[in-house]
Amino acid sequence: MCRDAAGPLGAARFLSGGEIIARFIPSTTALITFEAAARLGGFSRAAEELCLSESAVSKQIAKLESYLDLKLFDRAAGRFGLTEAGRAYVTEIRRTLDKLEADTKNAANFQMTRKELQIAALPTFSNKWLMPRLGTFFRRHPDIIVNIRGKIDPFDFSELEFDAAVHFADPQWQGVRQSTLFSEELIAVANPQHFPVEQWQAADCRGAGFVGAPLLHKVTREDAWRRWLQGARLDHPNPASGAQFDTFSTVIEAVRSGIGIALVPRLYVERELARGELVQFHPHTLRDEKTYMLILPDREVLHPSLMAFSDWLHDEARAFRTARLAEETA
The reply to whether 112-184+291-329 shares the fold of 2-108 is: no
Cβ density class 52-70: b for 16+ within 10 Å, e for less: beeebbbebbebbbebbee
Cβ atoms of residues 252 and 246 within 8 Å:
no
Pick the CATH number of 112-184+291-329 from 2.60.40.420, 3.40.190.10, 2.60.120.1440, 3.40.50.300: 3.40.190.10
Q: How confident is the model at residue 148 (pLDDT cuts 50, 70, 90)?
A: very high
Q: What is the pLDDT of residue 146?
A: 94
- Mapped onto helix, strand or coil, the DSSP state of residue 112 is helix
Cβ atoms of residues 295 and 248 within 8 Å:
no
Q: How confident is the model at residue 151 (pLDDT cuts 50, 70, 90)?
A: very high
Residue 5, pLDDT above cutoff 50? no
What is the pLDDT averaged over residues 248-260?
Answer: 95
Q: What is the pLDDT of residue 237?
A: 86
Q: What is the pLDDT of residue 2?
A: 41
Phi, psi of 187 (to 5 degrees): -125, 155
Per-residue pLDDT tens digits for 269-301:
999 999 999 999 998 999 877 899 999 998 877
Residue 18, pLDDT above cutoff 70? no
Q: What is the pLDDT of residue 10?
A: 54
**Partner residues linked to 297 by β-bridges:** 176
The CATH code that applies to domain 186-286 is: 3.40.190.10
Concatenating the DSSP letter of every residue in 139-178 gives HH-TT-EEEEEE--S---TTTS--SEEEEE--TT--SEEE
48 closest CA partner among 36, 60, 38: 36
Pure H helices in the chain: 28-40, 43-50, 54-68, 84-108, 110-113, 123-125, 131-140, 197-201, 224-232, 248-256, 270-275, 304-329
Domain ranges of the chain: 2-108, 112-184+291-329, 186-286
Q: How confident is the model at residue 20 (pLDDT cuts 50, 70, 90)?
A: low
Q: What is the pLDDT of residue 112?
A: 54
Concatenating the DSSP letter of every residue in 287-315 gives -SS-EEEEEEE--S---HHHHHHHHHHHH
Q: Mean pLDDT of all residues in the chain? A: 86
Residue 193, pLDDT above cutoff 80? yes
The CATH code that applies to domain 2-108 is: 1.10.10.10
Per-residue pLDDT tens digits for 88-127:
999 999 989 988 887 777 666 655 556 889 999 999 999 9
